[in-house]
Amino acid sequence: MIHPTAIVHKNAEIDSGVDIGPYCIIENNVKIKKDTKLIGHVVIQGRTEIGENCTISPFASIGGPPQDITYRGEDTTLTIGDNNIIKEYVTINRGTKSSGGITKVGNGNFLMAYVHIAHDCKVGNDVIMANSATLAGHVEIEDFVIFGGLCAVHQFCKIGKYAFISGLTGVPKDVPPFVIAAGNRAKLYGLNVVGLERHSFSKEEITKLKKAYRILFRSSLPLTTSLKIIREELEGKHINELIDFIKSSKRGICR
């Protein structure tokens, strides 16, 4: 259903079951898949694709041009997956040509009021971002990350899966998977044990990750030595993910 006050471009592709509420504006090249609901006063711009069964609350601005002084009107993209909840005043910008031209948001995410996802970000699945959490450009968020309110992540940072970022935290470097980060300039405060338990990590897996955390971040050993020790002494999928994340970091790791 399309409310009579909504403005929908004739070339927009709107699937069956989409509900577009009052005073929404849907521009050219937008694609909205079935059973997605725009409650009202939502603006969707540019080459933006929104998946199935999403709910977008009033005054969200989706697919606007990137806030990048190098942007010159290039035809770039935003893709949003299925089953996302996007609350009031959320802003998500399209990508820039110089960085691949795409901003991407996965499936099952919960983006609370005033969240901002900037150009060229990659957000995974089942991510929760509390009110006013903010991602600068080129940030990558892996699956099952939780952000407290009023967080800010520096451009080009990466947050590993199952990490918890406490409220009022500024993130200047990469945050490894499975940990808690907090502070004006984020520091690590242990393993995200509660989050891991909620996602059915076994006691054995959590014990291994705790030991790896102590060796990596609470010993006086050089990082390269710590990585070698945990690779030799600890085994498992999650240990390997932790090692690979740290070794691939370009901005350095929050400690």
Asked about 116 being catalytic, the answer comes back as no
CATH of domain 197-248: 1.20.1180.10
Exactly one of 137, 148, 160, 195 is catalytic; which is it? 137
- SS3 of residue 158 by DSSP: strand
Residues listed for the chain? 255
Angle separating helix axes 237-248 and 203-217, nearest 10 degrees: 30
Secondary structure (3-state) at 80: strand
* 119 touches 93 (CB < 8 A): yes
**Tokens in use for 44?**
């969707």
Which of 63, 95, 120, 195 is catalytic? The answer is 120
Q: Residue 164 — φ and ψ, nearest 5°?
A: -120, 120
Query: Each residue of 202-236: pLDDT tens digit?
Result: 999 999 999 999 999 999 999 999 999 999 999 89
In the chain, the amino acid numbered 138 is H
Q: Among residues 116, 119, 138, 154, which one is catalytic?
A: 119
pLDDT tens digits along 41-63? 999 999 999 999 999 999 999 99
User: What is the predicted pLDDT for the residue at 235?
Assistant: 87
pTM, full prediction = 0.97
Q: What is the mean pLDDT of residues 60-78?
A: 97
Q: How far is CA 235 from CA 5, 79, 176, 205, in A?
A: 59, 36, 18, 9
In the chain, CATH 2.160.10.10 sits at 7-141
Q: What secondary structure letter does DSSP report for 5?
A: T
65 DSSP 8-state letter = P
Q: Which residues contact 177 (CB under 8 A, 6 or more apart)?
A: 142, 160, 161, 162, 163, 238, 241, 242, 245
Q: How far is CA 230 from CA 185, 190, 226, 233, 251, in A?
A: 27, 17, 6, 5, 22
Compute φ and ψ for 23, nearest 5 degrees: 65, 20
CATH 1.20.1180.10 domain range(s) in the chain? 197-248
Active site annotation includes 119: yes
What is the model's pLDDT at position 47? 98
137 catalytic? Reply is yes
Residues 6 or more apart whose CB falls under 8 angstroms from that of 234 comprise 208, 211, 212
Q: Determine the topology of domain 7-141 in CATH.
A: UDP N-Acetylglucosamine Acyltransferase; domain 1 (2.160.10)
